[in-house]
Amino acid sequence: MTVTDHDPTSFPVSGRNRLRRLHTRGSFDRAAVYAVLDAAMLCHVAYAIDGQPYCTPTLHWREGDRLYWHGSSASRMLRHLAGGTPACLTVSHLDGLVLARSGFNHSANYRSAMCFGTARILDDPDEKAAALRAVVDRLYPDRTASLRTVTAQEIKATMVIGMDIEEASAKVRAAGVGDDEEDYAHPVWAGVIPVKTVLGAAEPCVRLDAGIGFPPDLASFAPG
């Protein structure tokens, strides 16, 4: 695997992450990869156990070139990854349905990022404690301070995985219908149907004290 020279704004390129199909939609630019990763909470992690591939959905967060995810200290996925195992973490957004005048030119608008690296357990206690604050606070700014304090037992029950991104790529389609020139006259509806993820109205816990309103810190979680 030949890795190209290092350019700080781009991830290195090797046989793993070089785009072959429709490569003009691709990019190795750090900013492009970060933008796709940070716009989602949900990722899918691929790993293999005894040659059997698994694709597990989980929540991720990022600091610089490091990706994190968490779960039970007894989790099969996490225990397997903890030892230093190759993994691929992918984030995808479906942004639109593209209806063309031929079947072949149907497509989807999307943004996706595939990240390659070696997953490792975070076993330094300070690093782990910081990560367990980050899992909450990166999603809900400053929320940890207002919560019931985490217990030693909870920290023990939890595993955090960190993976330095060795190579990554982003791929994006954000365009209208691309039909063959001779097909534009074909009499069928063609266009793009946008797909969006939106938040609904918050549903307070049935046991919430009536005096506690929705926190201003969570203003970015307003419906829409």
Identified binder of ligand HEM from the candidate list 103, 211, 213, 224, rule CB under 6 A: 103
Q: How far apart are CA 224 and CA 206, in angstroms?
A: 23
State in angstroms the smallest separation of the CB of 56 from ligand FAD. Answer: 5
Nearer to ligand FAD, 101 or 160 (CB): 160
Q: How far is the CB of 65 from its own copies (least distance, A)?
A: 18
Q: How many CB atoms lie within 10 A of CB 92?
A: 16
Strand, helix or coil for residue 31? helix
Which one of residues 87, 131, 161, 165 is an interface residue with its own copies (CB under 8 A)?
87
User: Could you give the maximum distance between any two Cα atoms of the chain, in Å?
Assistant: 68
35 binds its own copies (CB under 8 A): no
Give 183: exposed, middle or buried? Use CB within 10 Å, 0-12, 13-18, 19+. Answer: middle
Among 1, 49, 55, 157, binds ligand HEM (CB under 6 A): 157
Task: From the list its own copies, ligand HEM, ligand FAD, none, pick the one residue 170 interacts with, judged by a Cβ distance below 5 to 8 Å according to partner type.
Answer: ligand FAD
Within 158-177, the residues that bind ligand FAD by CB under 6 A are 169-171
Minimum CB separation of residue 5 from ligand HEM in Å reads 27
What are the beta bridge partners of residue 42? Answer: 59
Nearer residue to ligand HEM within complex by CB, 52 or 151: 151
Q: Does 184 bind its own copies (CB under 8 A)?
A: yes
Phi-psi region of 97 (alpha: psi -120 to 50; beta: other; left: phi over 0): beta
- Tell me if 138 contacts its own copies by CB under 8 A: no
Reference 190, options 110, 108, 106; nearest CA is: 106
For its own copies, which is the closer residue by CB, 7 or 164? Answer: 164
**Cα separation, 220 vs 114, whole angstroms:** 27
Could you give the CA distance from residue 213 to residue 216 in angstroms, rounded to a whole number? 9
Main-chain dihedrals φ then ψ at residue 160, nearest 5 degrees:
-115, 135
Contacts of 118 (CB under 8 A, 6+ apart): 84, 85, 86, 87, 163, 164, 166
Is 69 or 101 the residue whose CB approaches ligand FAD more closely? 69
Q: Which residues bind ligand HEM (CB under 6 A)?
A: 21-22, 25, 59, 70-72, 75, 103-104, 106-108, 132, 135-136, 139, 150, 154, 157-158, 173
Q: Which residues bind ligand FAD (CB under 6 A)?
A: 16-21, 42, 54, 56-59, 70-72, 75-77, 92, 94, 108, 110, 112-114, 169-171
